Chain A
Amino acid sequence: SQKIEQNSEALNIQEGKTATLTCNYTNYSPAYLQWYRQDPGRGPVFLLLIRENEKEKRKERLKVTFDTTLKQSLFHITASQPADSATYLCAPGGQAGTALIFGKGTTLSVSS
């Protein structure tokens, strides 16, 4: 069955450092992969989408890579800030109309 693993449940870093979150998937060949941010008690908020033919995508301090050979996506937050503290979810997706399958998420804590 399809399986998504986000490398660690919790990641603690200092303000200003780069946070790197990992998403690995098995038994799956997604056409794209999305990353979402979720704050406690709130719904996930879309951050970035990367397609299978794209190696890298950037948005402000965020960068996502997608390696379909390794079946892995890396999510980077540069110059991290305490406001970046949240749970980050990866969600590989299939073709149009198919549901997203979410990983358990990685909880990032940025300390000042």
Chain B
Amino acid sequence: ETGVTQSPTHLIKTRGQQVTLRCSSQSGHNTVSWYQQALGQGPQFIFQYYREEENGRGNFPPRFSGLQFPNYSSELNVNALELDDSALYLCASSLRSGGAGETQYFGPGTRLLVL
């Protein structure tokens, strides 16, 4: 069973640029969620995709967008980067089975630094 992988591991961008982060879900999972984790904080929910459709969004502006592909891998795109976007970006996959309580399996994260 392959775990959740993310690429790249680290990234440095300048303010105003755009970035794309990638995530491969754990085998058999149909749901992917993205989180932003600033230093010393818990992960903050950005959005979730289920079967290629956005299925919930946190308090993030539209310049944060995403995609989920037929193989359930996913991308997070951030436009017009700001200094405050510097954080660890986490992808988590899960299997939606209809009942409450989906365990989320996290990838190692992408560390983004915006200068």
Contact = CB atoms under 8 A, between A and B. Distances in A.
Nearest to B97: A96
Nearest to B92: A43
Contacts of A45: 106
B45 A99 contact: yes
Contacts of B43: 44, 89, 100, 102
B102 A96 contact: yes
Contact of A31 (B4, B42, B92, B101): B101
Interface residues of B, number: 33
Contact of A43 (B44, B97, B109): B109
Given A43-B90, A43-B108, A104-B41, A99 B101 contact: no
Contact of A104 (B42, B102, B104): B42
A96 B99 contact: yes
Given A100-B45, A101-B45, A46 B104 contact: yes
B45 A43 contact: no
Contacts of A95: 100
A94 B100 contact: yes
Contacts of A100: 33, 43, 45, 104
Contacts of A96: 96-102
Contacts of A101: 45
A100 B88 CA distance: 17
Which 3 A-B pairs have CB atoms at the shortest separation, nearest pair first?
A43-B106, A102-B42, A99-B45
